[in-house]
Amino acid sequence: MSIGPRWNLTRRALLRRAGALGAALSVPGLGDLLSPGSAMAAVKRGPGSLPRPRHPAGTVDESMPFDHIVVVMMENHSFDNLLGALAHNGQPKADGLHFNAQGVATNTNPGVSGGKVQSFVIPNTAQAPTVTQTWDATHQQINHGKMNGFVKSVSSDEPMGYFPPDVLPFAYSFAATFPVANRWFCSAPCQTYPNRRFLMAATAYGDIATNTASLEDAPPPNGTIFDQLDAQGISWANYFTDLPQTAIIPSIIEKYPANIQPIAAFHAACAAGTLPSVSFVDPEFGAVTDIGAPLADLPLLTELGIYQGTQTLGGDEESEQDMYYGEAWAYTVLQAVMNSPAWPRTLFIYTYDEHGGYYDHVPPPKAIAPDDIAPQLQTGDAPGGYNIYGPRVPAIVASPYAKPGHVTNVVHDHTSVLATIERKWNLPALTYRDANAATVMDFLDTSSAAFLTPPTTITGPSLTGPSGPTT
């Protein structure tokens, strides 16, 4: 669908339109966002607008020091859960858990039967099943910014657990080497599918859950980032291990089957230095996991031979998966990128789709509603809209031009990936959210390639010891 010149509006017109949409359609929170200092007050661009309006769409921004963008999105961990001890293990500016003089994390949440549940160390790579990130549970966990509903949302202490560096050596060494984000939030306070829709289309367009029914939805009104790339002849691929995340929006698979390629093709492209301009690289989701099961049942994937019916357990780090397998997979992907002839002109973005129900202490701020499409809430669901981010997730950016020892406090969400792609190739924005999202340029120093020679400080997990598999 075209999103052309009719969307080239002034800021005042954008605010007026947003207010009218909120009033006419009763979109939760849109009217509230118009107050001074609110998220909507930060709106400067609208859907269809170009990052650099004086240049034609498709014009490359040569000031951005990369020609290839590689995006990896893992599953279901908050910043505090995955990197909570980072400030004491290589990156003192990281805003993780609070520790006392004895090195014990002091963050707490109210217990189910009274008292307080304190953050605790998860001693190995095993994960318990008692965490959740449904729409209702996430709103209970956030509790209007109090961040005190994690334990009660599942009647379990498990959300307060965090992994130490000896259990996750890849995550910690990666975050201590390359710049990490203190304020990268998932795009919506809910599950995988809506958050990955934001990654690909800058909107969840009504979805709040990961289920088979959402796969039957119509395509996003303004298309996806892949439509914009294709329109300008910019190369891209979704490399998958067992199931491609693009199947969450089935129209992508229908329109671009040749762009959906197995993970072996990614490693071959890295080795040959022939990466496309944009690569989305997916871990093993697993045919029996919450994200993988609905995709495995999608007839389109079987018809195209993309999914062969292998019953895998997954390696994307979703609960109850063993964290070893995701760590090992991500390490090999990063090594393939850094050892590629394309590395001098490559940007690698590593993040997580949402928090998985694990505790995080930073309240999500208000966000710009992407469009006028309200969440598809049922009777009894927690009220709300897409005008607030979900909890923080880990995000690390690797590049020869990455700032060593850097932590950024700029607010990002998954549409920052889209904003970066759009800025590099001057592509039209898909929604209000990506049009006004920060790019990842704050992670980089364009004047200095400190990592032109790939660092040797990043380590993968071991088959034995705390970082080894428990299953």
DSSP 389: -
Cα–Cα dist 32/29, whole Å: 5
**Average pLDDT of span 410-428:** 98
Q: What is the pLDDT of residue 39?
A: 63
The closest of 204, 203, 214, 173 to 91, measured between CA atoms, is 173
Q: What is the pLDDT of residue 41?
A: 62
Cβ atoms of residues 147 and 359 within 8 Å: yes
Indicate if the pLDDT at residue 18 is higher than 50. no
Cα–Cα dist 4/157, whole Å: 50
**Average pLDDT of span 437-457:** 97
Indicate if the pLDDT at residue 349 is higher than 90. yes
Q: What is the pLDDT of residue 12?
A: 41
Q: Which ranges of 262-309 does DSSP label H, i.e. alpha helix?
A: 263-272, 292-296, 299-303
The mean of the pLDDT values for the chain is: 91
pTM: 0.92
Indicate if the pLDDT at residue 28 is higher than 50. no
Q: Which residue has the higher pLDDT, 300 or 122?
A: 122
Q: What is the pLDDT of residue 385?
A: 97
Q: What is the pLDDT of residue 36?
A: 42
Q: Which domains does the chain have, with CATH numbers?
A: 52-99+165-443 (3.40.720)
- The tokens for 66 are 């990369």
**Average pLDDT of span 146-170:** 98
Confidence of residue 8 (pLDDT cuts 50, 70, 90): very low
| Burial group, residue 464, by CB count within 10 angstroms (0-12, 13-18, 19+) | exposed
- The tokens for 213 are 């029914």
The closest of 382, 377, 416, 381 to 396, measured between CA atoms, is 416
